[in-house]
A and B are shown apart, each in its own frame.
Chain A
């Protein structure tokens, strides 16, 4: 530990009579916070202050002002020494270490954004390995995926993303974060009609693998809405109907409804038919079947959809 003999600590006031949630601080916490608060107040931008903020962050990562103070120290020292890129690189390395030790800490992502924005020549390549590790550790972590999308936009580099989402989807076809990431990227790629057709084939393959998966059906709908003005052709209707035993096309008694493979396929069809004048009866049949057999927890909602058609 550095020498702080010249610093008068600024202790946290505690053990008051009317205090709520009094925490039994450890000596280490008391001492570290006492010093850090004093340096922050004095506005000391030094190497020892930098090290001390790391210690505070390891003890109380939610100490929001300390992150702000640390950032100022880093930038101050960097400018003073005239080596901004090196200093920010070192700081990014430090954040990565903190991240790996404490993946649930959400302060790190906005901190990294601030650093990257100040970097004279930031690199997406540098960020990719840590992003990959973090996503592997928690494949649906909202903060990490948001940071990845921020990076993609910041660096204007979409080149790794389709293959990356494919990798994650192959690993877990139910990963909705990977599917929404794929849509985000695909939309930005301004695909031509051949690429769109290939993408529809891609999602159809995934639907055939697992028909009862909400993410894939949303993705399919998204492709039609974004690129084909919601014009659902005969082939896609036929494709969806292949998972519903055509229950939307014939009247059934509830007790005679067969098992089908996907309630999402049936909902997909119902939502299309609800807007077609000559198919409204098919939409109603589909909603009724969802209500009575295929997705009964949402019966109030399916009945509501029927009332909206009429």
Chain B
């Protein structure tokens, strides 16, 4: 039994993703910013001095930031593209998720030049606002490449709602009056509330999902609107989240016929009912529970067992990193989420904005 976090190997695993990558990574080229973000954030959560090591790359990172003028109006919007493959002049390839990834990366690297000289906060906020569906209130991840309207081939969902709110928060638009200049706050809240599920949690068309639940609760929390949820729904969501901790004790043993039950998952969290436990859902469930638990109160789950699940089951002790379960190879996403979950458990990570605590630019 290995009983601790193997930092040295994780650092190597994460740094390797920032170096030269084999062509098998080509399919992720359009979202390179996600690779950078998960790597830098994982390293920062492991308390590596990322500022020192990656400050020299900021100039290159800034080149992903673009300002686009609408052909039919004077409006300009600003944001990031996912990679150089998406930089095509006169074509709008800005991406909402990649904009959040880049802004969080700049913040983690204490990039004063970006926040004080480069960014046009109103332009970024306009981009965010343009991604909102004026009828439904939800956000899409990109705009049409020619016009400033949501992309016709994209649909809104809770992930992009959260991302929109997080971007606005990070660039300084925090109170409702400022937000209303760019987005329809009430429509957004109505959309989020419409994704509530009867069993607790949030998801599309009534099937709750821990990832969407975290997005919905984080967005409401950043908007200062968690009180729009009824006490009854909050209680049910706590119950739903608590029930996602997988157990092999008591009656929970009686699941021989369940193909998605593994008694070795004990202590881990699943994203939905009757699914295997998975590294990333430790993060999503714990972040959600934290938001519904008063400050200073213990979470109504067993954090030690969740930690054991991550360290003894999904951590890879050979090449570093975390995988989603005990079967797959480790990957960058689950590595970052696993490290973030552990950092959140020791109180050093802000799960709502997804950034180590105490970073200021």
Contact = CB atoms under 8 A, between A and B. Distances in A.
B117 interface: no
23 contacts: A12-B85, A13-B87, A18-B56, A20-B57, A23-B26, A23-B29, A24-B21, A29-B26, A37-B85, A43-B146, A60-B27, A65-B145, A142-B272, A146-B204, A174-B259, A174-B261, A212-B252, A212-B255, A213-B255, A215-B273, A218-B199, A300-B299, A300-B300
Given A40-B88, A62-B27, A140-B272, A21 B207 contact: no
Contact of B254 (A142, A173, A212, A226): A212
Given A18-B56, A210-B257, A114 B153 contact: yes
B316 interface: no
B153 A68 contact: yes
Given A177-B272, A298-B300, 11 more contacts: A18-B60, A21-B39, A24-B21, A37-B88, A41-B91, A62-B28, A69-B145, A71-B152, A184-B206, A297-B266, A301-B238
A22 B305 CA distance: 38
B70 interface: no
B132 interface: no
Contact of A174 (B17, B142, B260, B266): B260
A263 B91 contact: no
Contacts of B273: 176, 214-215, 218
A111 B85 CA distance: 21
A18 B59 contact: yes
Interface stretch (B30-38, B118-126, B186-194, B342-350): B30-38
A62 B30 contact: yes
A40 B18 CA distance: 29
B247 A295 contact: yes
Contacts of B39: 21
Contacts of A222: 198-199
Q: How large is the interface on B (under 10, 10 to 19, 20 to 34, 35 or more residues)?
A: 35 or more
Interface in A175-226: 175-177, 180-181, 183-184, 210-215, 218, 222, 225-226
Contacts of A55: none
Contact of A296 (B92, B155, B250): B250
B76 interface: no
Q: Which of A69, A215, A304 has the most CB of B within 10 A?
A: A304
A10 interface: yes
A25 interface: yes
Counting chain A residues whose Cβ lies within 8 A of the other chain, the interface size class is: 35 or more
B95 interface: yes
Nearest to B208: A180
B210 to A, nearest CB: 11
A183 B259 contact: no
B298 interface: yes
Contacts of B247: 295-298
Given A21-B17, A140-B272, A298-B243, A60 B84 contact: no
A149 B205 contact: yes
B194 to A, nearest CB: 13
Interface of B: 17-23, 25-32, 35-36, 39, 54, 56-57, 59-61, 82, 84-93, 95, 141-142, 144-146, 151-155, 197-199, 203-207, 209, 238-239, 242-243, 245, 247, 249-252, 254-255, 257-261, 266-267, 272-275, 298-302, 305
B145 A213 contact: no
Interface string A56-79: 000111111101110100000000
Contact of A12 (B56, B84, B259, B302): B84
Given A263-B250, A263-B252, A111 B30 contact: no
By Cβ-Cβ distance, the 10 closest A-B pairs, closest first, are: A263-B251, A297-B247, A176-B273, A301-B300, A180-B207, A212-B254, A149-B205, A174-B274, A18-B60, A110-B155
A177 B207 contact: yes
Contacts of A111: 153
